[in-house]
Amino acid sequence: MRVVILGSGTGSNAEAILQAQRDGALAAAEVVQIIADKPDAGILAHGETFGVPAQYLDPAPFKTKLEGVGEDLYIDTITALRADLIVLAGFMRVIKPKFIRTFAGKIINLHPSLLPSFPGLDGIGQAWRRGVKVSGCTVHYVTAEVDGGPIIDQATVRIAPDDTLVTFAEKMHAAEHELLPAVIARLSERY
């Protein structure tokens, strides 16, 4: 199963996926490309570390969504890569219907909350401010509804009385780094 990872940030989840692949824990999944919509995104460096091609792809003309010329560039590039699975790992851009239709059923997203609670930006901060005692992360299929597609799996994180936003966020990221590679491995086995 050929996997393409899309991200915008530090790429700690991409790193976890690539480490799982190196450890032989990604079953039949193989990461073939990392794509970032920011030229200086940390996620690109993980490609070099793990020997996987990584590239910046210009998402213009829009700032917060992938549509128009940029969307076509992403569609053409990912089609040429013959991707079986597209993993959104911190890709901070709304994916639009043309992209979703082109890769129907092949796009998954990682979200830092127990959906359907706290969709949208800053799922960690939203949960923290609401004072929930249990939160967690979700991997779901991407549909036209932002953070609304079918849930594939979730992992819970308990917020202890002595947690701070910083320690809570650390627990959340640790949970993400377990969950996302495990889901990819499972999907590859079914593939």
Q: Which residues bind ligand GRF (CB under 6 A)?
A: 7, 9-14, 43, 89-90, 110-112, 137, 176
Nearer to ligand GRF, 83 or 89 (CB): 89
Nearer to ligand GRF, 20 or 43 (CB): 43
Q: How many CB atoms lie within 10 A of CB 149?
A: 20
Residue 106: partners with Cβ closer than 8 Å, 6 or more residues away: 83, 84, 85, 86
Residue 35 CB, nearest distance to ligand GRF (Å)? 13
Please indicate whether residue 46 is annotated as part of the active site. Answer: no
Residue 173 CB, nearest distance to ligand GRF (Å)? 6
Nearer to ligand GRF, 15 or 71 (CB): 15
Write out the E strands in 43-179.
Answer: 54-56, 65-66, 85-88, 94-95, 107-111, 134-141, 151-158
Q: From CA 131, how far away is CA 146, in angstroms rounded?
A: 23
Q: Which residues are catalytic?
A: 111
